[in-house]
Chains A and B, each alone.
Chain A
Amino acid sequence: MRGRVLLIRLGQMVLVVLAVVTIAFFVLRLATGDPARLVNPPGTPEEIITQTRERIGTDKPVAIQYVDYLWNAAQGDLGTSFRGAQSVANAVFGALPNTLSLAGITIVISATLAVALGALAAWRPGSILDRGVLVWVALAQATPAFWLAVLLVLIFSLNLRWFPAIDMAGWRSFVLPVTTLVVTLSPILIRTSRQSFIETLREDYIKAARARGLPSWRVFAVHGVKAASLPLVTLIGLQLGFLLAGAVVVEAIFNWPGIGKLILDSLASRDFPMIQGGILVAAVVFVVLNFVVDMLYAVLDPRVGAARA
């Protein structure tokens, strides 16, 4: 039974990836902008443009290009960049670990912060501590990532010279981009965590545990944290999409060689293979991580696993 569920889930994942790739493929073709025109002077005669299209393969009907793309992608060939004939697979798989490391550290710090601050705030709702956390959440939520990133560079790179302004080189280079992303990501996690703790602490079984004489900290840490983390896990799964391909601004400002920046740089030149490759890999990673999150959810809440089975 469990095997069948897994198989269905796997099929769903393949369908999601296929849908994402298909939408990306056709949206790119429908959008304005002919890559063949971008490597030639504006106004270049049509015969030269046609030659360029033949060279990069955009002269074929879109349906043929689509079938070719899927066929090649299924065999692991993501094509070559229009911009320099580099292998898309090399570029995308080179960028993936950089994005994953940035996203991973951000998630871990954000989740830890969310649980800690959410718990502190929920411990005494309405207290000064709670209000302080809520003010912090409101401030962080209202802070644009691009503004914060530049401010951090200005203070910590250009003025104090503590951390590098750009690039990914050593642990110090993680500090500013991760800080920016944590500040962007954590408010919603903290708010969710706080609410979840408050609701959990009102549950009958928590009251029962307290009535049995269990120390408050134990009730909170053992029963409360576990129950309150469930919505957090779901939310983190959803935020992964933002971090995988959506943290473009942060990657651009810090010249972080990740997937978001790769896609952004490729958009301007309508480098279709590179954009598609980036989106495909981001989609695969996203559905796989979401699957892992779902599994984690089932572990944290056995009722979910039982219901699915």
Chain B
Amino acid sequence: MRDLLNLGALHRRIVLPAVLCLVVVACQGDTAGTTTTAGAETPDTTAAPATTEPDTTETTAPPATEAEDGDGEVRFLMAENFWADWVPYSSTALSQKRLERQIYDYLVDFPSGDLSQPEPSLATSWEQIDDTTWEFTIRDDVVFHDGQPMTAADVKASVELASGFSGESAYALTWAPAEVEIVDDYTVRIITEEPFAPMLAELWWTPIVSAQWLEGDEGDLATTPNGTGPFRLVEDSVNVKTMEPNPDYWQEPATIDTLVWEFIQDPQTRLDALLSGDAHAIDRVPPEHLEILEAEGGIELVGVTGIESVNLFVAPGRLPIWDENPDFRRAVNLSFDRGPLVENLVMGASAPAGSFLPTNTLFYQEQEPPFAADPEGAMAALEAAGVPDGGPPFEIWVAEGFLPRAVPVVEAMVAQMQGIGLNPTVVTSDVAGLIDDAFSETGTGAMYHLSWATAGDPNQAASVYSSAFAWYFGDEELDAMIAEGRTTLDPAEREQVYADLQAHMWEQAWHVPLYNSDFTLAHVSELEGILVQPHVFRTDFYPASLSD
């Protein structure tokens, strides 16, 4: 009975709206270096931080061979909606990227998470021939799920499309248009117009798809991914993606017989499913469930600080004093305390923002002094801004069911802001309404509680503040630095570019940095070998296994 009561107390909070992580990402990574042969030498990148159902549609993938002595089914409950279809490179939805990693392979990998340590994957070796040309040798023993062998033509079609060279691509936001020359069936040269420093890191998240498939029926592209990865999609419904091992995988086939990724909105339902044995793993464990899971035997928790900046993103033009007056921006940034928000509300492995680039980003530098609650300093900044009364009223929008504990976090911030005389109000919405308000001409909000997840390369993290995105305040110096970081190959020089960029952003504070997200995944102890990295919340089930 005591157990029952304890559990009852722990289940008091029920949060029906989902934790939906729409934060979308284009992927990235670092590189530079000159000549590199995977597995032998590494790029001379420096200062890389060691980082820690019923509506089922059967796909046309070839039938899987039954794995002998397989591990059975593994069911992973996602907190994020499956936003997108399977058309390659058509969206940068985070959930889709995570899912694609089970089905596709990539030219290179960074299994340690350290962006200075690339490892071979589909490419066995590579070399930077000159500032704008990279040569890759690819494996000759890889076949797609439909049985077609992978050749240089597939790499050409994939990279040219993803980079925006040969067609429309959402990935092009962070790629540079890249032409691919086929040297022979298993050798390609990737050529960019300008030097492109994040080449390897970008390839880390660019799935290699079949050229023949790309030319095929558009409907098939949307519904039937054809990769070379360890799993292949066998059933596809709006909320459930069922995969089976690829029997022809170029490495040892996966031992999990069936891998199910399922979207379940309610965190309480995900928790119940894990505790009752109906699921093997759940992600985005909310802070209020950590204690329950820690007390539970047979459950492992994996928590990392996500490479995800949570900011109050400010919409240019909505609050003129923000656009024009650095003192006002400083006043807002000094008006509240990030530490207690993180410690008491966001919790888990989250961390207060120390830079506009997320923690664990290559070339991350903690900025000094950090923004901390300084009511007197904030009021002095308001005085200097010419608005000792706190200035005009403005709206801060926050989405329920988007980032964990978002509403209380914003309410706590707003209370502190009001304490120094600022005049914000909180507007609560769902994520679709928030996004709509932020970008429609009739939007009324000034600030939006949103996040930006990346794969660890600073170019990706910084690009959201560039002129390519709608969060740009016309800071040409910043835009130039972002471009320079993308084209600077020498690691030491590149590090300096990002050091300057981070200092500049901290000083200008065009947006309000808050914290880096917690990413905590829980799984049954029998499930071993899941690869969890903060880079775009990577969660790979190969080569995981399920013991008896």
| Surface stretch bound by B, among A44-52, A63-71, A190-198, A200-208 | A44-52
For residues 166 through 220 of chain B, which have their beta carbon under 8 Å from a beta carbon of chain A?
A: 168, 170, 173, 219
Cα–Cα, bound, A38→B18 (Å)? 15
Cβ–Cβ < 8 Å partners of B84 in chain A: 39, 83-84
A86 touches B55 (CB 8 A): yes
Q: Does A295 contact B (CB under 8 A)?
A: no
Give the Cβ gap from A292 to chain B, nearest Cβ, in Å: 24
A32 touches B436 (CB 8 A): yes
Top 7 nearest A-B pairs (CB, nearest first) are A33-B432, A91-B55, A94-B54, A85-B222, A165-B276, A41-B24, A43-B469
Cα–Cα, bound, A35→B236 (Å)? 20
Q: Does A233 contact B (CB under 8 A)?
A: no
Which of B24, B222, B239 contacts A39, CB < 8 Å?
Answer: B24
Q: Does A72 contact B (CB under 8 A)?
A: no
Q: Does A234 contact B (CB under 8 A)?
A: no
Which of A83, A147, A155 contacts B238, CB < 8 Å?
Answer: A83
Q: Does A40 contact B (CB under 8 A)?
A: yes
| Surface stretch bound by A, among B33-41, B265-273, B354-362, B403-411 | B265-273
Which of B24, B239, B471 contacts A40, CB < 8 Å?
Answer: B24
Give the Cβ gap from B93 to chain A, nearest Cβ, in Å: 5
For residues 211 through 267 of chain B, which have their beta carbon under 8 Å from a beta carbon of chain A?
A: 219, 222-223, 236-239, 263-266
B219 touches A85 (CB 8 A): yes
B16 touches A146 (CB 8 A): yes
Give the Cβ gap from A268 to chain B, nearest Cβ, in Å: 6
B272 touches A157 (CB 8 A): yes
Cβ–Cβ < 8 Å partners of A253 in chain B: 266, 268-269
B16 touches A94 (CB 8 A): no
Give the Cβ gap from A161 to chain B, nearest Cβ, in Å: 7
Q: Does A257 contact B (CB under 8 A)?
A: yes
| Surface stretch bound by A, among B1-9, B111-119, B321-329 | B1-9
Q: A83-B83, A84-B82, A85-B219 are in contact. Are A268 and B14 (CB under 8 A)?
A: no
A165 touches B471 (CB 8 A): no
Q: Does A138 contact B (CB under 8 A)?
A: no
B55 touches A150 (CB 8 A): no
Cβ–Cβ < 8 Å partners of A95 in chain B: 53-55
A268 touches B55 (CB 8 A): no
Q: Does A120 contact B (CB under 8 A)?
A: no
Q: Does A231 contact B (CB under 8 A)?
A: no
Cβ–Cβ < 8 Å partners of B237 in chain A: 84, 86, 91, 94
Show 22 residue pairs from A and B whose CB-CB distance is below 8 angstroms, ordered by the A residue: A39-B90, A42-B313, A45-B173, A48-B168, A48-B173, A55-B87, A85-B223, A86-B236, A91-B55, A91-B237, A94-B55, A95-B54, A154-B8, A154-B11, A157-B272, A158-B275, A265-B239, A268-B17, A268-B431, A269-B81, A270-B432, A274-B238
Cβ–Cβ < 8 Å partners of A91 in chain B: 54-55, 237-238
Q: A51-B168, A90-B55 are in contact. Are A84 and B450 (CB under 8 A)?
A: no
- What residue of chain B has the Cβ atom nearest to residue A248's Cβ? B16
Q: Does A151 contact B (CB under 8 A)?
A: yes
For residues 461 through 476 of chain B, which have their beta carbon under 8 Å from a beta carbon of chain A?
A: 464, 468-471
B81 touches A32 (CB 8 A): no
Residue in A42, A92, A266 whose Cβ sees the most chain B Cβ within 10 Å: A42
Cα–Cα, bound, A98→B53 (Å)? 10
Cβ–Cβ < 8 Å partners of B24 in chain A: 39-42
B23 touches A265 (CB 8 A): no
A264 touches B265 (CB 8 A): yes
Cβ–Cβ < 8 Å partners of A55 in chain B: 87, 90
B432 touches A166 (CB 8 A): no
- What residue of chain B has the Cβ atom nearest to residue A91's Cβ? B55
Q: Does B342 contact A (CB under 8 A)?
A: no
Q: Does A271 contact B (CB under 8 A)?
A: yes
Q: Does B146 contact A (CB under 8 A)?
A: no
Cβ–Cβ < 8 Å partners of A37 in chain B: 432, 435-436, 439
Q: Does B437 contact A (CB under 8 A)?
A: yes
- What residue of chain A has the Cβ atom nearest to residue B16's Cβ? A252
B435 touches A38 (CB 8 A): yes
Give the Cβ gap from B244 to chain A, nearest Cβ, in Å: 18
A40 touches B91 (CB 8 A): yes
Q: Does A20 contact B (CB under 8 A)?
A: no
Number of interface residues of B (CB under 8 A): 74
B11 touches A150 (CB 8 A): yes
Q: Does B498 contact A (CB under 8 A)?
A: no
Cβ–Cβ < 8 Å partners of A271 in chain B: 238
Give the Cβ gap from B548 to chain A, nearest Cβ, in Å: 19
Give the Cβ gap from A99 to chain B, nearest Cβ, in Å: 10
Q: Does B392 contact A (CB under 8 A)?
A: no
Cα–Cα, bound, A158→B526 (Å)? 19
For residues 248 through 279 of chain A, which have their beta carbon under 8 Å from a beta carbon of chain B?
A: 249, 252-255, 257, 262, 264-271, 274
A153 touches B432 (CB 8 A): no
Cα–Cα, bound, A253→B275 (Å)? 14
Which of B8, B92, B435, B471 contacts A33, CB < 8 Å?
Answer: B435
Residue in B55, B87, B452, B464 whose Cβ sees the most chain A Cβ within 10 Å: B55
- What residue of chain A has the Cβ atom nearest to residue B94's Cβ? A41
Residue in A32, A81, A154, A254 whose Cβ sees the most chain B Cβ within 10 Å: A32
Given contacts A95-B55, A150-B272, A165-B278, 8 further A-B contacts (CB under 8 A): A38-B83, A41-B26, A84-B223, A97-B54, A154-B8, A154-B11, A252-B16, A268-B431
Cα–Cα, bound, A95→B240 (Å)? 13
B54 touches A159 (CB 8 A): no
Cβ–Cβ < 8 Å partners of B525 in chain A: none
Cβ–Cβ < 8 Å partners of A249 in chain B: 16
B54 touches A81 (CB 8 A): no
B433 touches A45 (CB 8 A): no
Cα–Cα, bound, A86→B223 (Å)? 7
Cα–Cα, bound, A257→B223 (Å)? 21
- What residue of chain A has the Cβ atom nearest to residue B263's Cβ? A265
Which of A40, A153, A164, A268 contacts B20, CB < 8 Å?
Answer: A268
A41 touches B82 (CB 8 A): no
Cβ–Cβ < 8 Å partners of B448 in chain A: 42
For residues 112 through 135 of chain B, which have their beta carbon under 8 Å from a beta carbon of chain A?
A: none
Cα–Cα, bound, A274→B238 (Å)? 9
For residues 143 through 199 of chain A, which have their beta carbon under 8 Å from a beta carbon of chain B?
A: 146-147, 150-151, 153-155, 157-159, 161, 164-167
Q: Does A34 contact B (CB under 8 A)?
A: yes
Cβ–Cβ < 8 Å partners of A48 in chain B: 168, 170, 173
- What residue of chain A has the Cβ atom nearest to residue B470's Cβ? A43
A164 touches B265 (CB 8 A): no
Give the Cβ gap from A240 to chain B, nearest Cβ, in Å: 20
Q: Does A87 contact B (CB under 8 A)?
A: yes
Give the Cβ gap from B80 to chain A, nearest Cβ, in Å: 10
Q: A39-B91, A40-B91, A55-B90 are in contact. Are A94 and B53 (CB under 8 A)?
A: yes
Give the Cβ gap from B239 to chain A, nearest Cβ, in Å: 6
Cα–Cα, bound, A90→B17 (Å)? 25
Cα–Cα, bound, A264→B313 (Å)? 28
Q: Does B438 contact A (CB under 8 A)?
A: yes
For residues 395 through 451 of chain B, which have their beta carbon under 8 Å from a beta carbon of chain A?
A: 401, 429-433, 435-440, 448, 450
For residues 511 through 536 of chain B, which have their beta carbon under 8 Å from a beta carbon of chain A?
A: none
